[in-house]
Amino acid sequence: MTLQIFLAIAAASAAPQTDVKPAVARPPATAKAEARKPPVDPMAAMASMMKLFDKFFPVGPDPDPARLAVARGTAQTMFPNGAYAAAMSGFLDRTADRVLSMSEADLASMFPEDAGDKKKKNRKKPLSTEPLRAKLMREEPNFDAKYAAIRAFAGTMLTKLGNAAEPKFREGMARAMARKFDAAQLAEINAFLATPTGAAYGRHTVGMWFEPDVMRGMFELFPEMMKMMPELAEDAAAMESEMKSKSKAGK
């Protein structure tokens, strides 16, 4: 919530103004056809999605009850109450604070304009290098109070979502761990989690996935994937050729 609001503010502040083009009138037949379409029922759409979800991710076999009981305690330590809200609030707050520390020039540099853009060539006044937070505080005297209220609201919403989601996530984690680890292994894991270091690890496990370095690691994969595309395309072509040869051999 916090992130979306301030990204919207930032985008509005940094984006160059463009002329509004008049809307193109739709043919009457198209408008009538769209008017006849029944509105999509959100609950029906969700029910259909859940059916598809059940097909792709069916419920696993019930684990041993004794191991499941132990694994539930393990999952509780590794995903403690409030972990979701804490992780998401921290991530959104850090990102929003980072956006507010940037300027119009910083934000515009993230979205390069067309080199042939006449507005860019004719721009007389350079984009501001003033941090967005300072600009907003100057334009809105109560900015700090409003920002604090938004953060508090976002925290409340995330806590409510976490209260609904965390029990389901913990139960799924417990069932998976009870199947993956035997009783002796679960005992060793719980012995570690019972130590001060283990308890700290459990508290930070979820939040670490949203740390900047971890997020960077995930996004830095994309340039590597792009470098691999020619090789992957060659591999795909070789596989297609192999499939064709197998098809001919089967005839």
pLDDT tens digits along 108-158: 888 766 555 555 556 667 888 999 999 999 998 899 999 999 999 999 999
Model confidence pLDDT, tens digit, residues 6-19: 444 444 444 444 44
Q: Is the pTM here over 0.75, yes or no? A: no
Give the pair of three-digit tokens for residue 54.
């059940």
**114 Cβ contact list (under 8 Å, min separation 6):** 120
- 25-57 pLDDT tens trace: 555 555 555 556 678 888 888 888 888 877 887
The neighbouring-strand residues paired with 103 are 131
Helices 132-139 + 143-180 axis angle, to 10? 130
Residue type, 19: D
In this structure, what are the phi and psi dihedrals at residue 24, rounded to the nearest 5 degrees? -85, 125
Measured distance CA(67)–CA(167) in Å, rounded = 18
Q: How far is CA 161 from CA 5, 171, 195, in A?
A: 19, 16, 30
Q: What is the CA radius of gyration of the chain?
A: 26
At residue 168, the pLDDT reads: 92
What is the pLDDT confidence band of residue 1, given thresholds at 50, 70 and 90? very low
Note the pLDDT of residue 141.
Answer: 87
pLDDT recorded at residue 10 = 44
